[in-house]
């Protein structure tokens, strides 16, 4: 059979090399560098494995570590690194690509959906530029936990299958232990893939890529490029609304980090809000605050305009503008629905938007904890008011107004707890797991944190401390693009 067709591979996976149907200028075929002499499985995630039909018993297979650190191929799949370009911090960066990532397989799930199996940190590729192709344990754990936390909140995202310790020391700001992440996504194709060919005047390649993406992931839009772009606009707008409602800041919303499927992709210096600060900047290298929390919806639209330009040889400009113009209303509608659910509003009444807006203003003034403010809203007044600290003088009036509005809505505690998580992956929580692994080789906290963030709405008796804001020694943790 042709290598592009489905077949059974090791671990019972149904593999195909769908991306390789595109011409060779879209990627470089290459084996992994075989990073590390003594790779060891640090942690595996059965919930992610189930997405591609991987039996948990596979984690104990002697071939599992060699395959998922790149020392052995996954069946007869020919690994490849993708090429793309992009705008980074608003400036055209030219050719980029998978500088430390390698596609080692594409697997069909039971529903027929295709999943990429990609290694991150498996070594140099032709697109590594000045990098070393490695990943450090710190960033690997953060992506492993972050993608699972976002997925459990019902937000579209890549997923994380396992972490393998390479045994190498990798230089960043200081020497750090190396690791390889295996991540899964329905596609790793980015806005930057289209930009790469458009800005080289290769319009036929733009069409080939668009038809490839539509045929596999958007079959309802075959023959309708403008309608497909409108769907990308919708997914991106709804992703931005979901991030804002969850209090999640991505940190590096470059066009090469924007998924054509509307997934949360490339977890670097991300952060969940502790104290509510609309201007929160989670990436210490983002000195101008381009990717601050409050800027994310606007940046999502900016990136879609860059994508529209990249598709301008394929779609009439009037249709592109028409689809782009829908972005704001889609975002506002979705964000409004999510925020109404967070405060338990079902019926739609005049003044509701102002009620929610007033709460956010109050939270910002008091620097109230974002997650706990919504989670504890149905609880006793005193415990909720305590979240506002010394700035609590205005909170009782808002709470009285809110409770008057809730008359007639019925008991809403269970419904609100189903959309307001108790546990999010705060930086201090991730840092606790990282330090345990790096300092003591102890994956116990990592395992515990993963269980909590994969079930964020449950109470988890005995684990209340993991839901709290950071202690003083963990305040001000700094993350950057190497995180």
Which one from 98, 116, 256, 266 is the annotated catalytic residue? 256
Split into its structural domains, the chain has a count of 2
Which pLDDT score is estimated for 478? 58
- Kindly state whether residue 204 falls inside one of the protein's structural domains: no
Which pLDDT score is estimated for 471? 82
- Kindly state whether residue 385 falls inside one of the protein's structural domains: yes
Which pLDDT score is estimated for 203? 98
- Kindly state whether residue 464 falls inside one of the protein's structural domains: no
- Kindly state whether residue 304 falls inside one of the protein's structural domains: no
Phi, psi torsion values for 269, nearest 5 degrees: -85, 55
**Of 188, 211, 233, which residue sits at a domain end?**
188
Has 316 been annotated as catalytic?
no
Which pLDDT score is estimated for 473? 65
Which pLDDT score is estimated for 27? 98
On whether the CB atoms of residues 52 and 117 are closer than 8 A, the answer is yes
On whether the CB atoms of residues 28 and 80 are closer than 8 A, the answer is yes
- Kindly state whether residue 218 falls inside one of the protein's structural domains: no
- Kindly state whether residue 427 falls inside one of the protein's structural domains: no
**Of 167, 188, 209, which residue sits at a domain end?**
188
- Please list the pLDDT of the chain residue by residue as tens digits (483 residues): 334 555 557 898 989 899 999 999 999 999 999 999 899 999 999 999 999 999 999 999 999 999 999 999 999 999 999 999 999 999 999 999 999 999 999 999 989 999 999 999 999 999 999 899 999 999 999 999 999 999 999 999 999 999 999 999 999 989 999 999 999 999 999 999 999 999 999 999 999 999 999 999 999 999 999 999 999 999 999 999 999 999 999 999 999 999 999 999 999 999 999 999 999 999 989 999 999 999 999 999 999 999 999 999 999 999 999 999 999 999 999 999 999 999 999 999 999 999 999 999 999 999 999 999 999 999 999 999 999 988 889 999 999 999 999 987 877 899 999 999 999 999 999 999 999 999 999 999 999 999 999 999 999 999 999 999 988 766 666 565 554
- Kindly state whether residue 406 falls inside one of the protein's structural domains: yes
- Kindly state whether residue 447 falls inside one of the protein's structural domains: no
Q: What residue numbers bound the domain in which 365 lies?
A: 345-411
Which pLDDT score is estimated for 3? 46
**Of 391, 411, 431, which residue sits at a domain end?**
411
């Amino acid at each position: 059979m042709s290598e592009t067709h489905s077949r059974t591979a090791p671990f019972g996976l149904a593999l195909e090399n769908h991306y390789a149907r595109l011409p060779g200028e879209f990627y470089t075929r290459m084996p992994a560098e075989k990073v590390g002499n003594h790779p060891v499985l640090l942690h595996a995630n059965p919930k992610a494995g189930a997405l591609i039909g991987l039996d948990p018993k596979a984690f104990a297979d002697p071939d599992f570590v060699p395959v998922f650190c790149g020392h052995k191929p996954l069946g007869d799949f020919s690994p490849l690194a993708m090429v793309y370009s992009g705008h980074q911090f608003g400036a055209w960066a030219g050719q980029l690509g998978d500088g430390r990532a390698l596609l080692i397989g594409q697997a069909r799930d039971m529903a027929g959906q295709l999943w990429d199996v990609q290694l991150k940190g498996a070594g140099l590729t032709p697109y590594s530029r000045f990098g070393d192709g490695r990943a450090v344990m710190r960033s690997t754990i953060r992506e492993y936990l972050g993608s699972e936390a976002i997925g459990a909140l019902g937000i579209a995202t890549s997923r994380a299958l396992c972490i393998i310790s390479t045994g190498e020391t990798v230089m960043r700001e200081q020497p750090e232990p190396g690791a390889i992440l295996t991540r899964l996504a329905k596609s790793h194709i980015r806005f930057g893939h289209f930009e790469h060919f458009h800005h080289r005047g290769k319009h036929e390649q733009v069409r080939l890529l668009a038809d490839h993406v539509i045929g596999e992931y958007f079959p309802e839009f075959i023959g309708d490029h403008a309608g497909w772009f409108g769907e990308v606009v919708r997914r991106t707008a709804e992703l931005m609304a979901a991030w804002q409602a969850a209090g999640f800041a991505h940190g590096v919303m470059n066009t090469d980090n924007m998924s054509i499927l509307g997934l949360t992709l490339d977890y670097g210096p991300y952060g969940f809000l502790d104290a509510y600060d609309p201007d929160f900047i989670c990436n210490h290298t983002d000195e101008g605050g381009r990717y601050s929390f409050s800027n994310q919806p606007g940046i999502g639209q900016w990136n879609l305009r860059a994508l529209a330009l990249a598709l301008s040889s394929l779609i009439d400009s009037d249709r592109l503008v028409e689809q782009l113009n829908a972005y704001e209303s889609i975002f506002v509608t979705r964000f409004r629905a999510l925020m109404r659910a967070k405060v338990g509003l079902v019926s739609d009444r005049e003044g509701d938007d102002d009620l929610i807006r007033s709460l956010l203003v109050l939270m910002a003034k008091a620097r109230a904890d974002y997650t706990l403010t919504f989670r504890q809203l149905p609880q006793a007044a005193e415990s909720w008011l305590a979240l506002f600290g010394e700035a609590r003088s205005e909170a009782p009036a808002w709470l009285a107004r809110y409770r008057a509005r809730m008359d007639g809505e019925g008991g809403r505690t269970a419904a609100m707890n189903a959309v307001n998580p108790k546990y999010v992956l705060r930086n201090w929580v991730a840092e606790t797991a990282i330090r345990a692994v790096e300092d003591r080789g102890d994956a116990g906290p990592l395992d515990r944190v993963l269980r909590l963030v994969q079930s964020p709405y449950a109470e988890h008796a005995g684990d209340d401390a993991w839901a709290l804001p950071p202690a003083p020694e963990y305040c001000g943790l700094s993350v950057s693009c190497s995180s």
